[in-house]
Amino acid sequence: MGRKRSFTETELLDMTKKLVLEHGYDGFHLKLLSQHLSGARSTIYQYYSNKEEIVAACMKRVIAAVLENSSGIDETDPMNALEQLLLVYVEESTLHQLLGDAGKINTTNSSAAARDLEFIEEAHITLKIQLSRLFERAQQDKGLRQDIPLPVLVGVFFNLINTPNMLNIPMPGWGKLLFQMWIGGAKS
């Protein structure tokens, strides 16, 4: 008797994310995925037709959550908005690692994967526009130093996202600490 269907689409996408981050797109395959889910491998096909669709849907889900959380930020105070935005990015710090493999997805045989990748590209553009707008406003309001070029400020901001949380500080506190370090520097 085969295994019963006992995983949800959410569990499927969560495990896909975990395995793609661990093994990369090239090392991810449906057999590996089925080995990590409690249910029949055929159940995967009830949700998605192939590897490309699963991985694209996983990527779309992650960036959609970032987009939703970032769109809810009050931008009245650009510095506060940047701090909130940093927290959104820190909470999903694997986004860029995950999306790094988007170019490997062959959409020739999957219109669903193509649509998801199109959504990802549009969301990425939306996030970039928001970030640029906030940085420009913060610099105009003199919330950011004028003597440091904007690309440098943005670059360091993004590098904060990958800072390991070795103290296991809860995410809101970790994001706040990183923002304070970024805005204040390390000098006493």
pLDDT tops 80 at residue 54: yes
* Predicted confidence (pLDDT) per residue in 95-136, tens digit: 888 898 899 999 998 999 999 999 999 999 999 999 999 999
**Radius of gyration (Cα) for the chain, nearest Å?**
19
Give the domains, in start order, of the chain with CATH numbers.
Answer: 1-47 (1.10.10), 56-184 (1.10.357.10)
Q: According to the model, what pLDDT value does residue 1 have?
A: 45
SS3 content of the chain, % helix, strand, coil (to 5): 70, 0, 30
pLDDT tops 80 at residue 40: no
Q: According to the model, what pLDDT value does residue 148 have?
A: 87
Residue with tokens 């998605």: 48
